Amino acid sequence: MEHNDLQPALTMLSEDEVLLRDSVAEFAEAQVRPLVREMDEHAKIPKELLVKLFELGVMGIEIPEQFGGGGASFFHGVLAVEAFSVVDPSVGALVDVQNTLVVNAILRWGSDDVKQRYLPRLAADTVGAYALSEAGSGSDAFALTTRAIPDGDGYVLNGRKLWITNGNEADIFLIFATINPEAGYRGVTAFVVERGFPGFTVGRKEDKLGIRASSTCELIIEDCRVSKAQILGEPGKGYKVAIETLNEGRIGIGAQMIGIAKGALGHAVKYTKERRQFGKAIAEFQLVQGQLARMATEVEAARLLVYNSARLRDAGKPFLTEAAMAKLYSSEVAERVTSLAVNLYGGYGYVKDYPVEKLWRDAKIGQIYEGTSNMQLVTIAKQLLG
């Protein structure tokens, strides 16, 4: 076998992948790091930072260049979400939802008209949100009750959405509603709704445990009239839009989780080399070294799962089970690694003057959103058992 027949290792990056990862990492250190604590306390991402994210080109990574986007791959998006999440997982969440859910859904399912109207805005200056969940429908997402009733050449929407990431910043919302509740999942239809549409309001913002700067909002939809041109995909096929984008979105959450874990490990390595007890740096104790080594091994294993599912997706290969495994495992690793980082900081790990307690709080969401860990297990088991 010729050497050049060999596949590159998963963690070997192309030149432009390295360029994107490094530019995001540099930006995150310089522009995000100084704001992290304040953003957590005030539960807000400043407008100026949003503007800079658009300037950096990370809000439309996969949007084709003709629409003003980066024309890059899904894997590039994963690298960006990971690099942001090392510094601040809330910014990671913002960038993730924009790219892996909103842009992704419009690229795949949008009509030419929808693409022309929305992709340039999403690349340039407009945040998007993805609204599937409701108070009564989370894991059982297609039990949603938001109604879309046909009216002339369009629909009138009524209902409420809960837990919508980017709700505070977004101007474009993908809203899933049913055109026929009796038809179950076959009634679900995806609509593009703009913040300014009459009858659409962003409601209460949640006060959360972690990723506090990432907004999570209720949406109130009362007699909101939309034309047929706002449908994403086809009427009654919104379940496909939802399932297929979430299957991919999950890989983005995996990227957020490995970023968090990498961030916590970095802090722990630095701190244990500095902190002295019993006359030496605590990193000199073999028990501490073992903890650090285990953390590093778990981060690497999680990264391989995430990168592999992203590479499979870009190669057009099946990746459903791999993505579920990546999200399940990386979110568990993020929780364990951040928890160990808190332990290694001792009392200092428990207070907000140091960065690790926040990462521990931030990690928890990985086991809940875009399908809880139980739902990932269900997906994996289904594939195993046929």
Does position 363 bind ligand FAD by CB under 6 A? no
Residue number with CB closer to ligand FAD (99 or 291): 99
Residue number with CB closer to ligand FAD (139 or 297): 139
What's the min distance (Å) between Cβ of 147 and ligand FAD? 17
From candidates 131, 144, 193, 342, binder to ligand FAD by CB under 6 A: 131
> DSSP characters for 13-68?
--HHHHHHHHHHHHHIIIIIGGGHHHHHHHT---HHHHHHHHHHT-SSTTS-GGGT
What is the greatest pairwise CA distance in the chain?
79
Residue number with CB closer to ligand FAD (311 or 361): 361
Residue number with CB closer to ligand FAD (372 or 383): 372
Is-catalytic flag, 298?
Answer: no
Residues forming a β-bridge with 156: 149, 225
Does position 133 bind ligand FAD by CB under 6 A? yes
Stretch that binds ligand FAD, among 5-13, 38-46, 325-333, 364-372 (CB under 6 A): 364-372
Half-sphere exposure of 57 (CA within 13 A, CB side): 17
The pair phi, psi for residue 132, each rounded to 5°, is: -110, -50
From candidates 14, 66, 139, 277, binder to ligand FAD by CB under 6 A: 139
CB 171: neighbour CB atoms within 10 A? 16
> DSSP characters for 152-218?
TTEEEEEEEEEEEETTTTEEEEEEEEES-GGGGGGGEEEEEEETTSTTEEEEEEP--SSSTTS-EEE
What's the min distance (Å) between Cβ of 132 and ligand FAD? 3
Residues forming a β-bridge with 161: 219
Stretch that binds ligand FAD, among 22-30, 65-73, 253-261, 368-376 (CB under 6 A): 368-376
Does position 209 bind ligand FAD by CB under 6 A? no
Catalytic residues: 370
Q: Interface with ligand FAD by CB under 6 A: which residues?
A: 97, 130-133, 138-139, 163-165, 208, 216, 365, 368-372, 374-375, 378
